Amino acid sequence: MSRFGQFSLLWVDMAERLGLDVDVCDVEWGKGVPVDDYAAKLRADKSHQIKAVFATQNETATGVTSDIAAIRRALDDANHPAMLFVDGVSSIASIEFEMEAWGVDLAVSGSQKGFMLPAGLGILGVSDKALAAHANARMPRCYFSFADMIKLNDTGYFPYTPATQLLRGLRCSLDLLLDAGMDSVWARHKRLAEGVRAAVAAWDGCELVARGPEWQSDTVSAIYAPPGIDARDVISTAYYKYQTSLGSGLNKLAGRAFRIGHLGSLNPVMLCSAISAAEMSLRDAGAMIVPGSGVAAAQEHFRVTTPDMMQHTASKAA
Ligand SMILES: *Cc1c(COP(=O)(O)O)cnc(C)c1O
């Protein structure tokens, strides 16, 4: 496992509390899964002591996305049979995720991020390999026993009362996503994220927490406030004065960073209002940024990159 933000950190904590023997790679916050370190450990593990490799695809605390396909290549290059477990809570349904192509064995998500629903559903994708491993696994489990689940699912039931209203909601979300097409959903998230990044680049003294373009997330941006500015002031001003809820800086980013979420049912105009609120709050908190600079940069990006649905519809009809 690797730890580079509040969510990847919590996974390590859970695995350790469950009594698993965890080999943790600690990484600077702002970077993601250290694939080269994983590859070296897998190559060195000739007796296959490593049972699973874990990755948080999108670290929501720092706005960092990791390369899951590269982890699959590291496993394959080392000819290692370990399973690949992925936290896709803030990535699946928003940015590229290919369970089969990347050979992911367990992928977990939730209803409350890219699936655009209230919190309440945990969604777990399971490969055939993981299902087979489940048959002889010795760790105790009950709540999410695949065997119990499959047995009752086959008859149209769950082993406990399911959140039926959320399952109905999920059906609607999936229809929205699949009707748009996942390529189009991923492209929209990229456009939205690039607009936010254009705004951040225009704000003097602000900087993304992500340490380079290869790590930048298309679903959430964590942004360092300019030196000397308390990000908590920015967040509370946005909330109490402009009725806009920015994400807080989690754990060691508290006071240093704020976050703008940009996933799910969102369009450029909605995102411009969040960028505008962040900009006004930054100035209220004392940041010397030029009024309108971030909004203007985002607007220009959106103006140039947003597909024109009128033309789109017309050309389809033709
Ligand atoms: C939101 C999120 C979770 C789940 O968080 P809960 O608050 O425990 O539901 C897990 N991992 C990531 C990367 C997330 O963004």
DSSP 70-112: HHHHHHHHTT---EEEEE-TTTTTTS---TTTTT-SEEEEETT
Taking the centre of ligand 1 as the mean of its atom positions, its distance from the CA of residue 43, in whole angstroms, is 31
What pLDDT is stored for residue 315 in this prediction? 67
10-residue mean pLDDT series, the chain (318 residues): 98 97 98 98 98 98 98 98 98 98 98 97 96 91 88 90 96 98 97 98 98 98 98 98 97 97 97 98 98 98 92 65
2-177 in CATH: which number?
Answer: 3.40.640.10
User: Does the CB atom of residue 56 touch ligand 1 within 6 A?
Assistant: yes
Query: What are 179-198's pLDDT values in tens digits?
Result: 999 999 999 999 999 999 99
Domain ranges of the chain: 2-177, 182-305
Burial bucket for residue 283 (CB in 10 Å: 0-12, 13-18, 19+):
middle
- Tell me the three state secondary structure of residue 113: coil
Most informative mutation of 12, 87, 259 for ligand 1 (most atoms within 8 A of CB): 87
User: Does the CB atom of residue 60 touch ligand 1 within 6 A?
Assistant: yes
**Which helix (H) or strand (E) segment is 64 a member of?**
strand 64-65
Do 206 and 225 form a contact (C-beta atoms < 8 A)? yes
What pLDDT is stored for residue 140 in this prediction? 87
Query: What are 162-181's pLDDT values in tens digits?
Result: 999 999 999 999 999 999 99
Let me know if the fold of 2-177 is the same as that of 182-305.
Answer: no
User: Does the CB atom of residue 65 touch ligand 1 within 6 A?
Assistant: no
What pLDDT is stored for residue 318 in this prediction? 59
182-305 in CATH: which number?
Answer: 3.90.1150.10
- Kindly state the DSSP code that residue 216 receives in the 8-state scheme: B
What pLDDT is stored for residue 317 in this prediction? 63
Atom of ligand 1 nearest to the CA of 220: 15
Could you give the CA distance from residue 106 to residue 52 in angstroms, rounded to a whole number? 10
* Rg of the chain in Å (alpha carbons): 21
Could you give the CA distance from residue 121 to residue 103 in angstroms, rounded to a whole number? 24
What pLDDT is stored for residue 312 in this prediction? 63
Taking the centre of ligand 1 as the mean of its atom positions, its distance from the CA of residue 294, in whole angstroms, is 28
Taking the centre of ligand 1 as the mean of its atom positions, its distance from the CA of residue 85, in whole angstroms, is 15
Beta-bridged to residue 216, according to DSSP, are 64
Most informative mutation of 62, 90, 92, 219 for ligand 1 (most atoms within 8 A of CB): 90
Task: Give the strand pairing for 2-3 and 25-26.
Answer: parallel
Sheet containing 122-126, strands listed edge to edge, beginning at the edge strand earlier in sequence:
52-56, 83-87, 106-110, 122-126
User: Does the CB atom of residue 88 touch ligand 1 within 6 A?
Assistant: no
